Chains A and B, each alone.
Chain A
Amino acid sequence: MDHGPGPGHGSRGPSAVRLVWVYPDLLSTYGDRGNLLVLARRARLRGLPVEVAEVNSDQRVPAGGDIYLLGGGEDLPQVLAARRLRAGGGLAAAAGRGAAVLAVCAGYQIVGTEFGGVEGEPVPGLGLLDIRSGRGERRGVGEITADVDPALGVPRLTGFENHQGRTWRGPEVKPLATVLAGVGNGDGTEGAYAGRVVGTYLHGPVLVRNPGLADLLLSWVVGTLPPVDPRQDELVQGLRRERLAAQPAPA
């Protein structure tokens, strides 16, 4: 996998990192704005200018962004969002030319090939990840801790999950992480990734509690990042310690 700078940036120096928040009117049930704010903050801490586009479902998703964010949503909004994203084509085009995508919960299911609709009927997704989701037997609600695929170099994930999804992976994707405590995909793994498309069930929001994952997405756009001044990282590291201590992973 290519971990070098993404299209449009890196080689041109610090031009703005373009963040696109996809359909906050449909896919933002629980603090999903946090992922956007953390990406913007961590870019600015490195002196990188940021441009933010919040794109509602009656607007076209621009194909020229660097990082696309999709959040959580209820069943009906999820189906509507998938339908509109498939019809619009902007997100798939962006992912196709190597833009980074972080998709959370309902958004995670949407970027797969198929998920369960309001009555459990199969609904086609965008096919950016080779995954398929349906309804699990029990609702996963609570704190979750998971160890990230070592290839990604991101510290242990901490988050909050609230879903009844069960997700099956095809051969084209790898699990994002191995669950230490919690439900995740339902088979001991959590999330999935392929290329620069990352999906996860984690709220928290996930990038708030896991700045390493935010930095990974930014590095896919701009290349190697300078470290953040430790004083600017102190609070969030404290939050990570607190949350990880609150859910001790089994030895």
Chain B
Amino acid sequence: MAASEERMRALIGHAFPGGHYRIEPWENFLLTEATGADRLPDGIAHPIHLFHVPIAGVGVSIGDLFELAEAPSDASVTIDYYDWEFFEPLHELQPYAMRGGVREHERTPHAGGTVVDSLTYCIEVLAESEQVVARTTFRWHFWRFAE
């Protein structure tokens, strides 16, 4: 159990680099197909894009988030919740900007010396007009089992 509570708590307020993302038509096609749905009309991106687009667009990867939280292994990460807000639909080929970071941390003790660090992330998706078009808030659990 390497990660100290102090180091995890210090992640509150950590800002991701920020950046941009454009949803390509092929990406929308494949991801929509993977949900078992038909493509949406008028270049509307399937809402499932609000998972990976903010993470990639803000300049990190899922692996980076695991590393930041000092995840002991890939299998030690579980999901608490996702909260997706859409102020307008996402579209293919639109240049979106992202900003966000780590909002909250909570450490919970469990039996046998296991602890769980729960990190809440929030990332906003902005149109060229700088208007926020979508927001994702999600919390992941990082399980640290006693050795």
Is the A/B pair a real complex?
Answer: no
Query: What residues of chain B have their CB less than 8 Å away from a CB belonging to chain A?
Result: none
Query: What residues of chain A have their CB less than 8 Å away from a CB belonging to chain B?
Result: none
